[in-house]
Structure formats: C-alpha cells, structure tokens
Chain A
Amino acid sequence: MADDSRGFTAASFYDYLKEGKLMGVRCRDCGKLSAEPRPMCPSCHSQDVEWRQFSGRGQLATFTCISVVPEGMARRGYGRNNPYCSGIVILEEGPRISARISGVDAANPQNIPTGMTLAVDFGDVDPERPALAFRPA
C-alpha cells in the first residue's frame, strides 16, 4: 500500500497529504513511530524505516490563537481581527504533530478545550502550499 520507494522526506509527506493520506514512518528495528518522515530512527538510529499510514484521528494537546500573523496568512485574510488557531495534536497512534486547527472559534480561545477529539482536515490542503490541518471530529 505504502510506496517505500518514496524518499522519507517532507516533500513526500506533503505529496501524501494532497492524496488524502497522513503518512509517517515506523522503525522496523525498535517500532518507534514518527509523524515526520525521516530516514533514520531518532530512538535507535536504525536506517531500516518504513512508511506508516496514520488514522488521522487524535486529540488536541495544546494550542495558541495567533493575531500577529505571517505574510502568507495575512494574504488569506487572517490578522488581529481574524486570528487563527494552530496547535499540537497527539495522534491516536502516539506521536505528536504541529498543525492548523480549523473549525474552532480562534477569537475565543478560552472556549477551545484541550483534549478535544480531532480528525485531519484534508479539505483545506492548498495544492500550492500544502499544510496539515485538523478539525473537531
């Protein structure tokens, strides 16, 4: 299913995202999972890694709501009057990953519950600048 001839790189990660798949790697020697594809296991240094598809489900571990936005987000209409939410998601398989959090009210962060169940939002993947996003499941 997973094409192990694809390099374990960010380019592959974002290509998979555009194909509707959240893919990371698994170390064949120690079993460690990493949400970021990498050619060497950070735990045991083995170079025997394989692609691993994640379910795309996870929980919101922590987050921030950003008002002073980078240029790319400003061009998409975000800013002081329209903040967006980014955070860290803990995937149900264990690893954590940084992501946009869509479908939440970023203007009222006190109402965003950490621990909430999320799923990957493949609908928001811009083919020019693909980025990982989750929304409430």
Chain B
Amino acid sequence: MAATPRKRQLGRPVSIVGAGMSQFGAFKGKTSRDLFVEAFRDMTDHLDQGVGVEDIECGYIGNYSSDLFEGQGHTAPIIADWLGLTPAPVTRIENACASSGSAMREGIMAIASGLYDIVLVGGVEKMTDLPTEGVTDVLASAADGLYEVPAGLTFPGIYGALAKAHMDRYETNLSHLLKVGIKNHNNGALNPKAQFNTTIRGMMERRIARAEQRGEPVPDWKDEIEFLNDPRANPWIAWPLRLYDCAPITDGAACILLVAAEIANSFTEKPVHIAGTGQATGRPLHDAEELTSLSAAKYAAAQAYQMAGISPQDIQVAEVHDCFTIAEIIATEDLGFFAPGEGPHAVDEGRTALDGDRPVNTSGGLKAKGHPVGASGVAQIIEVFHQLRGEAGARQLPGSNLEVGLAHNVGGTGGTCVVNILRRG
C-alpha cells in the first residue's frame, strides 16, 4: 500500500433511509433465512415512506459461515428468494466478524459507482444449532489454521494474548476489562433487541434469588465486581479473559436500505448520509506491527476520517467491535479517541458510558446485544443510524446537536477492519 494514501471520495453521495433487526438471542428452529426475513420486515414496517421490494436492485449480505453452522452454502440467493427479491443480484460477503461491515462498503460502492440506486445491505448468522465446542471450532477457522490454531490458540486465546500484551505495556488491569462489560450491559439493559437485555447486577441478583428459592448456599456478592471476580460465576476462558469478557453466541439478522442521496427524500425526511468509509487488512497477531493494537483499524479509520474531513474528536457516538472487553479498549485507542495506553483510564473515568463525553457502544455492544457474527457490522450501523435520528429510545444520547457517528467492525483478530462514518442529513 502507498505510504501516503490518496484522498478517496465516493462517485456520488449515498444515504441510509431505513433499518431493521431481528431480535438477537438463541432461537431453536429458526434458520438464517427466517431471521433475515424478520430483519427485513422490521425495516419495511418502519420505513417512513414505503418501499416496494421490487424497487430493490441489488443486495449484499454479510455472513461468516452458514456453511459450517448450518450446512448451507451459497446463502445469498436463498435469502433473495425468501425476501421475494429474485432475480435481483445478491452476493454473500465474508470477512469473518467484519462480514456485514464489508457488505456495507460493497453496497456503498455499488451506489456510488452509479450502477444502482437502491441497494439492500444486511447480515445474518445462525450459530446456536451447534454445541459450544462446535461453535468454538467454527470461530477458530477465522484464525490462521496453519500457524495459530496448531499452536493451541483459540479465538479468545489470541485476544487473551493481546490483553496480556496491553496489560504489560500499559496500566490496563483486570478491573478495566470488567468495567467495560458492566458498562455495556448497563446499555444493553435499555435495548429491547439485545440478547442480554439486563445489567450484570440484574443477572447477579437473579442468581442470588434462584439460590434462595432452591435452598442452595446463597452467594454473598455485594456488587457486580465481586460477582465478576468469583470464578464460579465468571470462569476463565483464556486468561486474562473470563466468561463476562467474551461476546456471546447469538442468532440474529440486521438490514438497512441504502440509496443514492439524490433520491433519499422520497424514502424519509431524515436520511443519514455516508460521510466516510475505510477498510484494511491485518496480519495474524504474531506478525502484527504491534502486539497492543490492531493496525487494520488504524488504517481503516484514517481513510474514513480523511474522506469525511473530520478528526476522531468530532465523533459523537461510536459502535466499536467488542468481541472481547479488551477489544473495546484497544478500539478506542486505534480510533484515536484516546492515546495509546489511555483507553483503560478513560474506562475508569466513565468517559465511554452513556453519560460520558465519548459514549461507546450505546447499543450494549457485542457483549450485551449479542454477536451473530455476520450481522454485527450492520447492527452497529443501525445503532448509529437510530442515535443520529433521535430514535434510540431509553439509550438516546441527549442533545439536539448529534450529527456524526462511527461504526468499527473487525474480522478475526484484526485480519479485517471496516470503519464507516455516518452524518445526519
């Protein structure tokens, strides 16, 4: 890649005019096509002005591995069929957990090129048909199968090594990781679509109540931190990461309607425009430029900021890829919200909370909202879309000057990063 990337711009402006999500959770008997129909119907039910399915010219669907999770490959035409989109061209985009953030970029470029005016972008993952061990193996296929997996590294293991490196180099400690999880569940408790629509305190209190009901020894946790420090409640997954540091296994789908900006007002009076977009690749952690940062995020963010003509300080709301709590801390540094090593201090100061000066993951993040791998990128964009339009309900950030938001979607351990910046119309 050239040392100084040239300033990139879209051929013509692109806008988001509608969004929909399925419930995120575990849904026995529902397949990826069923979940996607739910997301699509949520979108069409809430479009300010209707869109006919026949108006959609093209689709990009992010999905990591319906092949391994469901035994179903070639997912795009099946979803097209279930939506009644056939014969419109639909393509599945795969970049691990950045699949639908990447699909978003493909949709943006398809419209910016002039080839299409109205494009459906979405994502879906159905993960819960497999037992946990099976899911673990499928997720591990996003790591380097030749040089990471044989070394015994699992997906949480690689992020565990990243966390240990960050803790060695900076003042990051285990309590910072726990605080990120607590903050995200506080937000997720306000998100009706979230898989874990509850605070950690709520989960703790329910476990105490259950023990009382069953006449079992009642745990004496006084607060969330004690609960999260109890290995019976929060066991080690890959030290220093524990259960509550890890995003859950989730079924879910999300989709948005992208249109050429010049026709956006026939769909809604409140379109949200694409201000900037960037994408980059990264190497496995052992070949990374640094062991405490995802370089792909820095490159992608630089492209997006440059295209949008803004700096990190201008971002008022951000959804970042918290597949693990450490990933959120590192993301806030990679995105330039805080200097390297300052991420944990910002957590201590509550700066990334809903009422902080740099709110991050108002949706509850991947941790509380859920992480249906292929759907997460678009779900992040949808949260920013709703925040900018004043529709985020109990999670709505205050103030009428909310204009610019960012979504940061990572694949694997930084093999892919996509950053999209949205601006209120």
Contacts and interface: CB of A to CB of B under 8 A. Distances in A.
Contacts of A8: none
A61 B140 CA distance: 22
A62 B165 contact: yes
Among the interface residues A14, A86, A98, A100, which one has the most CB atoms of the partner chain B within 10 A?
A98
B239 A88 contact: no
Dominant secondary structure of chain B at its interface with chain A:
mixed
A88 B160 contact: no
A70 B235 contact: no
Given A62-B161, A98-B285, A109 B239 contact: yes
Contact of B136 (A62, A70, A109): A70
Contact of A97 (B147, B160, B164, B283): B147
Given A61-B165, A88-B291, A98-B284, A66 B150 contact: no
A68 B246 CA distance: 12
A66 B151 contact: no
Contacts of B168: 62, 114
Interface string B118-137: 00000000000000010011
Given A62-B168, A97-B286, A98-B153, A87 B161 contact: yes
Interface in B140-156: 140, 144, 146-154, 156
Contacts, number: 109
Given A65-B238, A70-B140, A99 B151 contact: yes
Contacts of A14: 150
Nearest to B287: A96
B150 A88 contact: no
A68 B156 contact: yes
Contact of A69 (B149, B154, B160, B161): B154
Interface string A117-137: 000000000000111100000
A67 B157 CA distance: 9
Contact of A64 (B137, B140, B161, B286): B161
A96 B284 CA distance: 10
A66 B104 CA distance: 35
Given A36-B147, A98-B148, A66 B154 contact: yes
Contact of A68 (B136, B147, B161): B136
A40 interface: no
A66 B286 CA distance: 17
Contact of B238 (A68, A88, A98, A100): A68
Interface size class of B (residues with CB under 8 A): 35 or more
Given A64-B239, A109-B239, A109-B240, A71 B133 contact: yes
A67 B237 contact: yes
Contacts of A65: 160, 236, 238-239
A98 B156 CA distance: 14
Contacts of B291: 61-62, 88
Contacts of B236: 65, 67, 80, 83
Contacts of A68: 136, 154, 156, 237-238
A10 interface: yes
Contacts of B240: 64, 109
Nearest to B160: A64
Contacts of B137: 70-71
A62 B157 CA distance: 11
A16 interface: no
A68 to B, nearest CB: 5
A129 B149 CA distance: 11
B157 A66 contact: yes
B96 to A, nearest CB: 17
Nearest to A10: B146
Interface in A78-102: 80, 83-84, 86-88, 95-100
Among the interface residues B164, B284, B286, which one has the most CB atoms of the partner chain A within 10 A?
B286
Interface of B: 133, 136-137, 140, 144, 146-154, 156-158, 160-165, 168, 235-241, 283-287, 291
21 contacts: A42-B283, A61-B291, A62-B164, A63-B164, A64-B156, A64-B240, A64-B241, A66-B152, A66-B156, A67-B238, A68-B154, A71-B133, A73-B152, A80-B235, A83-B239, A84-B152, A86-B161, A98-B153, A98-B285, A109-B239, A109-B240
